[in-house]
Amino acid sequence: MGLILDTSILIAGERRGETVKQVLERVQAAHSEMEAALSAISVVELTHGIYRARTDRDRERRRAFSEELCRDMIVHPVSLAIAQLAGRIEGEQAAVGNIIAFEDLLIGATALHLGFAILSLNVKHFHRIPGLKVLSL
């Protein structure tokens, strides 16, 4: 089984001044048997953060971190199958009053589709997705 790293894990590492390598070492120390990858949605969220940075220094640090992630990690796209799975989950959950943030829905659907778990600092967000294995760091 693999792990999809939620953006919260990446942002926390970047804010602590860690390199991508250090973030991945921390993930491996906690979950050594699992391969780590990203959803393309995390790239969207990280890119958003680059353009919201308040200083040029922060913007460049975030850009470098994001570029390193994209270079060194597998980034899974949102395929037709993932989009359909996300639509089914969202429809079923909305019908019972369970609203899931769209970004979390797509990241979670990516993990489900691949048979991976999610590693997140926001576990309660992902526990709303039935059948998804959610881990914390």
Q: What is this structure's pTM?
A: 0.92
CATH number, domain with residue 129: 3.40.50.1010
Report pLDDT for 1: 80
| CA-based nearest residue to 72, from 37, 25, 121 | 37
Strands 35-39, 134-135: pairing is: unpaired
Report pLDDT for 129: 97
Q: What is the mean pLDDT of the chain?
A: 95
- With the CA atoms of 123, 115, 104 and 19 taken in that order, what torsion angle do they form, in degrees rounded to the nearest 10? 70
In this prediction, what percent of the chain has a pLDDT beyond 70? 99
Report pLDDT for 137: 81
- pLDDT one-digit tens code per residue, 59-76: 999 999 999 999 999 999
How many structural domains does the chain have? 1
Following DSSP, what letter does each residue of the chain receive, concatenated? -EEEEPHHHHHHHHHTT--HHHHHHHHHHHSTTSEEEEEHHHHHHHHHHHHH-SSHHHHHHHHHHHHHHHHHS-EE---HHHHHHHHHHHHHHHHTT----HHHHHHHHHHHHHT-EEE-S-HHHHTTSTT--EE--
Report pLDDT for 56: 97
Question: Domain limits at 28?
Answer: 2-135
- pLDDT one-digit tens code per residue, 29-56: 888 767 899 999 999 999 999 999 999 9
**Which residues face 76 on adjacent strands?**
39
